């Protein structure tokens, strides 16, 4: 929570007009705190993902994949059932998915074997919708779809959040007049490491990467 607060304060100091807590773990543990502290639109990734999942499920059985911290917080389960108490939630922590995604191990026998192990409880529970409750997990989407089967809908919380951001910007009349913008990245770790990793996630040219110290 303290780290999320420091990051948010730094972004506010840069005159940000809106902040997206684009991390499921931070959204589950720190979002409420920073929304109370800072006076600008702030959204996380959990609520948009939940609304998307509820919109597509047909049998009200929804699986949630996430980090151990996200699953332990029960943020997704609580949000889902607060909207529809008839929904059955099956949550599964998948701690090895993040290092697999970051190392580029997103195909082949190793990630497939890991996915089969993690997804067994999901497969046994007859869910028809699964929320990818970590922004790393879409890189593993082909394997997850293969293991779960085409009849299970995968909800990308990141995509749902992007749609929600557009709506919030319109609601607050904060939309940009120009169509194209510039991507600027500020990191507290190695810029070189970030650049190498970001290329796996973002289909855009990322060249403006600046190291900062927020502590």
Same domain for 134 and 207, yes or no, is no
Judge whether 20 lies within some domain.
Answer: no
Q: Which residues are catalytic?
A: 23, 134
Find, among 17, 158, 154, 137, the residue nearest to 66 by Cα. 137
Q: What is the predicted pLDDT for the residue at 52?
A: 97
Residue 40 pLDDT greater than 90, yes or no: yes
What residues are paired with 160 via a beta bridge? none
The CA distance from 32 to 189, in Å, is 26
133 plus 198 within the same structural domain: no
pLDDT band at 34 (very low <50, low <70, confident <90, very high): very high
Specify the CATH number for the domain of residue 60: 3.40.50.1860
Q: Is the pLDDT confidence value at 186 over 90?
A: yes
Place of tokens 């890991």: 114
Residues 97 and 147 in one domain: yes
Closest CA to 61 of 119, 130, 12: 130
- Count of domains for the chain: 2
Q: Report the run of H or E that residue 153 belongs to, with start and end.
A: strand 153-156
Tell me: do 153 and 186 sit in the same domain.
Answer: no
Q: What is the pLDDT of residue 210?
A: 92
Same domain, residue pair 150 and 198: no
In 3D space, the residue among 10, 35, 49, 9 whose CA is nearest the CA of residue 135 turns out to be: 49
Q: Say if residue 151's pLDDT is above 80.
A: yes
pLDDT of residue 64: 98
Parent domain of 70: 46-159
CA distances from 155 to 3, 38, 53 (A): 28, 29, 6
pLDDT surpassing 80 at residue 177:
no
> Do 65 and 136 have their domain in common?
yes
Say yes or no to pLDDT of 67 above 80. Answer: yes
Answer whether 111's CB lies under 8 Å from 100's CB. Answer: yes
Q: For 73-100, what is each residue's pLDDT tens digit?
A: 999 999 999 999 999 999 999 999 999 9
Given a cut of 80, whether residue 179 has pLDDT beyond it is no
Same domain, 51 and 122: yes
Q: Are residues 87 and 143 in the same domain?
A: yes
- Shared domain for 125 and 77, answered yes or no, is yes
Tell me the mean pLDDT in the region 8-30.
93
Residue 204 confidence (pLDDT) above 80 = no
Record the tokens describing residue 84, joined without a space. Answer: 């529809």
Q: What pLDDT does residue 174 have?
A: 87
In a domain, 62, yes or no: yes
């Amino acid at each position: 929570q303290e780290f999320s607060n420091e990051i948010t304060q730094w972004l506010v100091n840069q005159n940000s007009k809106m902040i997206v807590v684009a991390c499921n773990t931070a959204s589950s543990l720190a979002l409420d705190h920073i929304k109370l502290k800072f006076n600008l639109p702030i959204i996380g990734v959990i609520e948009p993902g939940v609304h998307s999942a509820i919109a597509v499920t047909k049998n009200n059985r929804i699986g949630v994949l996430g980090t151990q911290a996200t699953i332990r917080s029960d943020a997704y389960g609580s949000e889902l059932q607060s909207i529809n108490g008839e929904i059955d939630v099956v949550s599964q922590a998948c701690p090895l998915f993040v290092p697999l995604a970051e190392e580029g191990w997103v195909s082949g026998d190793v990630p497939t074997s890991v996915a089969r192990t993690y997804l067994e409880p999901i497969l046994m529970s007859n869910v028809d919708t699964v929320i990818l409750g970590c922004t790393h997990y879409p890189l593993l989407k082909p394997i997850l779809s293969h293991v779960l089967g085409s009849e299970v809908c995968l909800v990308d919380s990141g995509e749902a959040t992007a749609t929600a951001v557009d709506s919030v910007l319109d609601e607050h009349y904060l939309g940009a007049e120009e169509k194209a913008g510039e991507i600027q990245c500020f990191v507290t770790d190695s810029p070189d490491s970030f650049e190498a990793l970001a290329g796996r996630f973002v289909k855009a040219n990322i060249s403006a990467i600046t190291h900062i110290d927020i502590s």
